[in-house]
Amino acid sequence: MRDRSQEGWEPKIVAFLCRWCSYAGADLAGVSRYQYPPSIRIVRVPCSGRVNAQLILDAFKAGADGVWVSGCHPGDCHYISGNLYARRRFVLLKRFLEFVGLEPDRLHFSWISASEGEGFAEKATEVTEKVRALGPCKRLHKEFDSNQENIW
Amino acid sequence: MVSVNKRITEELRAEAGRLLESGEIAAFLGYCRGSLPYAPRPFVARTAKDAERLIWNSFCVINLANYIPGLLQELDSEHGAGDEISGPKVGVVATGCWSRNIVIQIQEQRFTRERVLIIGVSSRGMVDRKRLHSAVDGMEITGIEEEDHIITLMAGGEGIEVPRWNLIRDNCRTCTRPDPVFFDEMIGEPQGERSIAEPFSQVEEIESLTPDERWEWFQQEISSCIRCYACRNACPLCYCSTCFVDDSRPQWVGKSLNATDTALFHILRAFHCAGRCTDCGTCESVCPMGIKMRLLTKKLQKDLLELYDFEPGLDLETPLPLSTYRQDDPDLDIVSEPAEQDGVRPSRKGG
Amino acid sequence: MDKPKGSVLVVGGGIAGVQAALDLADSGFFVHLVEKESAIGGAMSQLDKTYPTNDCSVCIFSPKLVECGRHLNINLVTLASVEDVTGKAGNFTVKIRQAPRFVDPDRCIACGSCSEKCPKKVPNQFDLGLSKRKAIYLKYPQAVPLKYTIDSDACIYLKRPGRCGACVKVCPTDAINFEDREKSFEINVGSIILATGFRPFDPAVLDFTGYGKLPGVVTSMEFERILSPSGPTHGHLKRPNGKDEPKRIAWLQCVGSRDINRACHGYCSTVCCMYAIKQAVIAREHASWDLDTHVFYMDVRTMNKGFEAYYSRARKEGVNFHRSRVHSVLPQPPDQGDGLILRYSGEDGELKEQVFDMVVLSVGVETSPEILELAGRLGVRLDHDRFLEASPLSPVSTSRPGIYACGAALEPKAIPLSVVDASAAVLESELLIHEARWSETRKKEFPPERNIYSEPPRIGVFVCSCGINIGAVVDVERVCRYAQSLPGVVFAQTNLFSCSQDAIERIAETIREKGLNRVVVASCSPRTHEPLFQETLREAGINKYLFEMANIRDQDSWVHRDDPEAATRKAMDLVRMAVAKVRRHIPLPYESIPVTKAALVVGGGVAGMTAALALADQGFPVHLVEKGPQLGGNARTLQKTWRGDDVQPFLHDLVERTSGHPGITLHLGALVQEVSGSVGKFSTTLSSGTSVEHGVAIVATGAASFIPRSKRDEKWRYLHGQHKNSVNLLELDRRFMDDPDALSHLKQVVFIHCVGSRAEDRLYCSRMCCSRAIRQALQLKKLNPGMEIFMLYRDIMTYGKREEIYLEARRKGIIFIRYDLDSLPRASLDAHGKIQVDVRDHILQEQIRLHPDLLVLATAAVPREDSGELSQLFKCAVSADGFLLEAHMKLRPVDFATDGVFLAGLCHYPKPIEETIAQAKAAAARAGLILARDYVPAESITASVDQTRCVGCGVCQEVCPYFAVKLDEKNRKAVVDKAVCKGCGVCVASCRSDAITLLNLGNQELMSQIEALMEDDPEPFTVQELS
């Protein structure tokens, strides 16, 4: 098991990026050589509208220290309206997870277009810094070696 | 002077009897006396004679909407499957929140409007069992006399008079719509919309805590959960054929009492009810451990009202809030956390 | 004519050329796309946002560019120009000259090492000189082809060989070739499409603007780059000095447009009003401070879909508009600041001054001298505005048969109309050479695919060094060894360049040899390379969806250069995630839908008939449904085009040809009653009971003329229907046609513009009325030069070349009086029962009374009342103003969001006849693209329902943007129409029961990927071991 409290701990952040805009923005950050912390692990999804509570919670459960979802700006969705459904879902979910005590800076949402390479790098840095400041995420993380697993 | 609930009981019996007799409905869903004086049980009347057993009082805590789809299915198999519109009808008694729940169920195509005949009653609030027991210091309650404002509990050989409102559930206390919003007939008098000064005060109390305190509260609240799923089973909105907690493909939530698994269960259960929950309080009423899981759905209800001006189940036409959008919905920056904004709450953005 | 050639030459790689090339290549023709620059993209690639949707320009355009670059049937010829064209329509010989790139495009992997090392900096023309680039450069980050170019004017080596050559030293693939020389070659094509675009007007010749002298004065194109996140200031709003943030910005409209005296351009450039408004809106969004924005204009021309509402919102949000004439832009005296003093006269004629930090010149468009020369060489005529000449009734045909034109080469126009033109030009080409369809196209054949269902996962991982692009930062050998340890992986290897031809072949061979059934390539971005590797899988005989990429370059080595250890660990994570995901991948069928080769066209007006004929003439059977008893539609009331061409003979011919065409079945007096099916296989029932099977549908149901009915609309009545001398434009045209002599006796005529348009309930400009009214006024003047004519208007919308009739009208003494929405002209009857009109003259500042013999109302065009129902039948959307809504306002102007259904003409938005014709032809071209094939490809990664889990709540049906999911009527379970599903996954995310999934992108696959990230890194090789 990865020791999550060791010195030199670096956060791991799952980033769900829509393939049309934000993933392209991430590529552009690379093409333009904008540097950002090596903490982001990108999961490419067709649309931010594909991402739901279950995927986000799964990332936390599996041990992500932060989760970041990014899609096309409202109005730019490749699938007409996917990001607009996503927007409601995300706004509601984030407020809700904060309500049950998830630290606000664990979960991030943004709109980043294919031409916002620098914007992507900036947001990646911001997300990392905020998550790093919180330390390893314990809430909602399921320790698999827990003895409780087979209690029955 | 006969109490309101008694009068409703009488009229309910008469009307359900008439409907059954005339064949307008094949069954009527209501409550009858249960084995305990404070626990009437859901009951299906199929004949006018059955209807004589119907009762209505302050202890009808389980949302009857949950039984409609199953009952319709049963009727279909008995009577031979009619089609969705002309098949045999179920009559049901419904309060404000139950009737709105029925609206959601119709919107989610669990059954058609044509197959339910809703007899609306205005709810005067239902009793919280915890409050009931603490009113008699945990003594066995052997009988109950209910009047409009006083409930007399027979315990320890004497009658203890308690002001009725003191025993009422939290959700009923903050209920703004006690009258049925969607019905075919109405029994008794409507009370009108109630204005509640701070309908979300309990939620706001938690919102005002720090994240650490909220997490503490949440962990504390669900720590007693035994994962019996009574809350889920009693909820008319939980009807997936395979619930995510029972799923093994992939096994997303472990089956054990792992704290994370329990938290995930409660989070996702509540989130699945977002925009659908009408705060009927059944989940809390049936919880053997007294977990206040209603606060979770109440928080979602509050945000939906603030962000999208949405209240569930008021009509059949308004789409459910997570199945629709507006171009000018509040954008992502609205998510910033109220408690950390120097006391400034995000205001509800116009339309 | 001999059998025509099956190839087409498209000149110009801007949006119009790209659209034309893609449409042609997809409908069976081989395309040579000739672009003078090193990459296609044209002006649209330089834009920040596009109005009125504020879409990011590159975001929406880039996928088309990539498709163009990869298309098997598009030969991209960059840095090239057309020298000469001989031959005739159907068989041209074209001589092309191509300048040297000095970089071998087959070798260049666009790693950028050369550019980084190149010592020579020159102004970057892509940013209009506001930034610098190197002598070896990529035109812009998303350039297609994604290949570097050496600027021979700037390169040190090319000027003095031996002095530099830094790029040669660092290029990992030996792609630099200083010996590259200019080439000339010939091609044979059946037709030619000119999409040569425009160039922005250079305001340096206009002294009064201060451009070139005052640093705060920029052109709109320069400002566009300043707004762009990939521009010189990374989207940070700054003055051109690069330091301060502007607090006050002015936009000066009509710089180089509508100006015969100073700019020699009488025409209106059409796009500037809207782009200025957009820039003001976006600039305000970019600024974190309170930005003061002012637009100085003559008329605000908001004559297209969504524009008026956009303008209205901009005003509400605080953009200021001044109807004015700009006198000069002067520097502030140094003691007062470094601002710019704008002197202008307002509508009242008073000279005013206002200080700004920045002045943006909304420069117009013009044809570049090279294109003028090209036109000369090709022998195609120019009009007097020096655009390529075409006629309103044949809007994309040049004077030389077989050569067509589209976009801003013809007239200043915005993106959507350029796209429409492009498809219309494609249609003209098809009409000319459709016999040669598929005769010159190439097709790729693949071996049959191995059935891998019974096999355990055998995953191969290929880790790319990308020269040193990845290898210099990420320890690829370590990643490769790590990959070998992962469950399911049976083979792992590193490649120097995974995308090189030899590496591709090696990957294919390894798949066959090792019996791999899943492949992961850890290299660059799937956006650019996934199709290439997927093709490799197919060549090796396995399904292309058994593939996953780990992006360890663009999203790893390039962004973590200073931390090789972390970058290497991240690469391992990404590979582990990809492996975990691909393990669960299943082969997916390459979905395709058989096509019923017939079209349904709804509406028998000009749009419907034009589209029907365009398809029928290519041999596709057409069913034309018209609800009325005869063909002709609104054009029956139209006498002339804006330019004065007679419409009735044209219409007569159109009706004759349509009714006599053997390929067209007419259904007059019929309505569409029921539609089922989807692209390729629609089945439609008409009110006559007839059932029609068709593969595509074109909706061309027209519009109606506004008639005030409600109390709210009473103010627009102007005695119409109450007094015989109050008529609308249609009725006046009718009088022209029936009895022109009667009109010649009129003494005074008053026109009122915008009757019902551009106001509360109809917040849109009806686009065609200004030109039509002015044309009628000119005709009246011709009948009787002494006639007094007044035009009461709000803004004159004679966009593009139409401006010339406005000028003529003013020359001929027609009097224009402006009115505001809050002081509408009023019509009443005087004591003798004669019409009198009261209006306030803004210039004279007084109320005046007119006594016309005839009052003419330019009434709004309004949507047909039943257009909503029809669009619902085809599952199409309607926009807020009631007109039918296209799939994408910019790039898919004639497509509906529902595949296989297209729209044309007034049902889309009010427009003049020439645009209706172009749009109808475009719709026919888009429809023909489907009809030309036996099968249309469909998305393979679609939603899929687990019926045992589905509870039939219908949320999927509710959220699907494409109406692809339905509840089955019988068993109440969701069913996905695979032909319609686009694979967005919104339904998947919405389903509470996990009953609907996206193939290979379901919860299981994504969760495997997520959970793999957090697994222990069983790092088998420690750093010490390695060293």
Which of C142, C990, C1013 minimises the CB distance to A14?
C1013
User: How confident is residue B338, by pLDDT bands cut at 50, 70 and 90?
Assistant: very low
- Omega before residue C100 within 30° of 0, cis: no
Tell me what ipTM this predicted complex has: 0.94
Residue C768: CA count within 13 A, CB half-sphere: 25
Q: Which pLDDT does position B253 carry in this prediction?
A: 86
Which residues have a Cβ under 8 Å from the Cβ of A126 and sit 6 or more positions away?
A: none
Residue C1017 has pLDDT above 80, yes or no: no
Q: Which of left, alpha, beta for A64 (phi over 0: left; psi -120 to 50: alpha)? A: beta
Residues of chain C positioned with their CB less than 8 A from the CB of A31: 112, 141, 554, 558
**Contact between chains at A10 and C566 (C-beta distance less than 8 A):** yes
pLDDT, average across residues C1014-1022: 55
CA C794 to chain centre: 29
Total Cβ atoms within 10 A of residue C676: 10
CA distance B263 to A60: 12
First CA to last CA distance, chain C: 75
Give the start-to-end residue ranges of the domains of chain C.
1-99+182-198+367-445, 100-181, 201-366, 459-582, 594-702+864-936, 712-860, 943-998
Least confident interval from A27-36, C131-140, C772-781: A27-36
Q: Following DSSP, what letter does each residue of B48-104 receive, concatenated?
A: HHHHTTEE--TT--S-GGGGHHHHHHHHHHHH----TTTSPPEEEEE-HHHHHHHHH
Cα separation values, C326 from C239, C342, C452, C709, Å? 21, 8, 73, 42
Residue C1020 has pLDDT above 70, yes or no: no
- The distance of C799 to chain A (nearest Cα, Å) reads 27
**Contact between chains at B299 and A96 (C-beta distance less than 8 A):** yes
pLDDT, average across residues C290-298: 97
**Contact between chains at A95 and B216 (C-beta distance less than 8 A):** no
Residues of chain C positioned with their CB less than 8 A from the CB of A51: 989
- Comparing alpha-carbon positions, the chain B residue that sits nearest to A152 is B256
| Domain C459-582 listed as CATH 1.20.120 | no
Third-level CATH fold of C594-702+864-936:
FAD/NAD(P)-binding domain (3.50.50)
Domain-located, residue A123? yes
What is the share, in percent, of chain C residues with pLDDT greater than 90?
A: 84
CA distance C216 to C391: 41
Residue B269 has pLDDT above 50, yes or no: yes
> Given this chain, do its domains C1-99+182-198+367-445 and C459-582 carry the same CATH topology?
no
DSSP H or E segment with residue C749: strand C748-755
- CATH homologous superfamily of C201-366: FAD/NAD(P)-binding domain (3.50.50.60)
**Contact between chains at C958 and B241 (C-beta distance less than 8 A):** no
- CATH homologous superfamily of C712-860: FAD/NAD(P)-binding domain (3.50.50.60)
Cα separation values, C306 from C53, C650, C766, Å? 8, 31, 11
pLDDT, average across residues C902-915: 97
Q: Which pLDDT does position C678 carry in this prediction?
A: 87
Residue B346 has pLDDT above 90, yes or no: no
* C53 interfaces chain B, CB cutoff of 8 Å: no
Residue A2 phi, psi dihedral angles, 5° rounding: -60, 130
What CATH number matches the domain at C1-99+182-198+367-445, 3.50.50.60, 1.20.120.1200, 3.40.50.300, 3.30.540.10? 3.50.50.60
Q: Which pLDDT does position B342 carry in this prediction?
A: 40
User: How confident is residue C301, by pLDDT bands cut at 50, 70 and 90?
Assistant: very high
- The distance of A99 to chain B (nearest Cα, Å) reads 6
Residues of the domain holding A26: 13-134
Which of B203, B215, B254 minimises the CB distance to A139?
B215
User: How confident is residue C466, by pLDDT bands cut at 50, 70 and 90?
Assistant: confident
**Pick from C942, C983, C935: nearest CA to C680:** C935
pLDDT, average across residues C625-638: 96
Which residues have a Cβ under 8 Å from the Cβ of C882 and sit 6 or more positions away?
A: C862, C863, C867, C868
User: Using one digit for the tens of pLDDT, what is the confidence trace for C251-280?
Assistant: 999 999 999 888 789 999 999 999 999 999
What are the percentages of helix, strand and coil residues in chain B, rounded to 5?
40, 15, 45
Subunits next to A (3 or more Cβ pairs <8 Å) are: B, C
What is the share, in percent, of chain C residues with pLDDT greater than 70?
A: 99
CA distance C117 to C129: 21
Residue C870 has pLDDT above 90, yes or no: no
Domain-located, residue A1? no
Q: Count of B–C CB contacts within 8 Å?
A: 47
A-interface mutation test, from B258, B335, B337, B349, most A Cβ less than 10 A away = B335
pLDDT, average across residues B62-91: 87
Which of B252, B274, B329 minimises the CB distance to A84?
B329
Third-level CATH fold of C100-181:
Alpha-Beta Plaits (3.30.70)
Residue B114 has pLDDT above 60, yes or no: yes
C-interface mutation test, from B105, B108, B237, B243, most C Cβ less than 10 A away = B108
Q: Which pLDDT does position B350 carry in this prediction?
A: 33
Residue C34 phi, psi dihedral angles, 5° rounding: -100, 125
Q: Count of A–C CB contacts within 8 Å?
A: 191
Cα separation values, B336 from A120, B317, B325, Å? 20, 31, 20
What is the amino acid identity at position C978? K
- The distance of C950 to chain B (nearest Cα, Å) reads 7
Which of B270, B300, B340 minimises the CB distance to A104?
B340
Asked whether C191 and C24 are in contact (CB, 8 A), the reply is: no
User: Using one digit for the tens of pLDDT, what is the confidence trace for C218-233?
Assistant: 999 999 999 988 889 8
Higher pLDDT, B209 or C499: B209
- The distance of C991 to chain B (nearest Cα, Å) reads 9
Q: How would you classify the pairing of strands C835-841 and C846-850?
A: antiparallel
* C877 interfaces chain B, CB cutoff of 8 Å: no
Domain-located, residue A70? yes
CA angle C377, C378, C380 (to 5 degrees): 115
User: How confident is residue B83, by pLDDT bands cut at 50, 70 and 90?
Assistant: low
With the C-alpha atoms ordered C805, C811, C815, C821, is the resulting torsion angle positive or negative? positive
> Mapped to the 3 state alphabet, what secondary structure does C16-29 carry?
HHHHHHHHHHHCCC
Q: Which pLDDT does position C1021 carry in this prediction?
A: 42
**Pick from A39, A43, A36: nearest CA to A18:** A43
* C285 interfaces chain B, CB cutoff of 8 Å: no
Average pLDDT, chain B: 91
CA distance A76 to B317: 28
User: How confident is residue C913, by pLDDT bands cut at 50, 70 and 90?
Assistant: very high
**Contact between chains at B272 and C992 (C-beta distance less than 8 A):** yes
Which of A95, A103, A151 minimises the CB distance to B257?
A151
Which of A54, A110, A150 minimises the CB distance to B332?
A110
Average pLDDT, chain C: 94
User: Residue ranges of the alpha helices (H) in C392-455?
Assistant: 415-433
Write down the residue that tokens 């009927």 correspond to: B280
Residue B246 has pLDDT above 60, yes or no: yes
- The distance of B268 to chain C (nearest Cα, Å) reads 9
B-interface mutation test, from A99, A107, A112, A146, most B Cβ less than 10 A away = A99
Domain-located, residue A146? no
Asked whether B12 and B28 are in contact (CB, 8 A), the reply is: no
The structural domain count of chain A equals 1
Q: Which pLDDT does position C15 carry in this prediction?
A: 97
**Contact between chains at C55 and A2 (C-beta distance less than 8 A):** no
**Contact between chains at C59 and A45 (C-beta distance less than 8 A):** no
A-interface mutation test, from B240, B252, B267, most A Cβ less than 10 A away = B267
User: How confident is residue C842, by pLDDT bands cut at 50, 70 and 90?
Assistant: confident
Which of C967, C990, C1004 minimises the CB distance to B322?
C990
Residues of chain A positioned with their CB less than 8 A from the CB of C1009: 43
Least confident interval from B238-247, C319-328, C577-586: B238-247
Residues of chain B positioned with their CB less than 8 A from the CB of A87: 325, 329, 331-332
**Contact between chains at A31 and C112 (C-beta distance less than 8 A):** yes
User: Using one digit for the tens of pLDDT, what is the confidence trace for A10-26?
Assistant: 899 999 999 989 999 99
Domain-located, residue A5? no
Hey, is C550 helix, strand or coil? Answer: strand
Largest CA distance in chain A: 55
User: Using one digit for the tens of pLDDT, what is the confidence trace for C683-729?
Assistant: 999 999 999 999 999 999 999 999 998 889 999 999 999 999 999 99
CATH number for the domain spanning A41: value is: 3.40.50
Q: How would you classify the pairing of strands C199-200 and C518-523?
A: unpaired
Which of C950, C952, C994 minimises the CB distance to B247?
C994
**Contact between chains at B215 and A53 (C-beta distance less than 8 A):** no
DSSP H or E segment with residue C340: strand C340-346
What are the percentages of helix, strand and coil residues in chain A, rounded to 5?
45, 15, 40
First CA to last CA distance, chain B: 48
User: Using one digit for the tens of pLDDT, what is the confidence trace for C173-207?
Assistant: 999 999 999 999 999 999 999 999 999 999 999 99
Third-level CATH fold of C943-998:
Alpha-Beta Plaits (3.30.70)
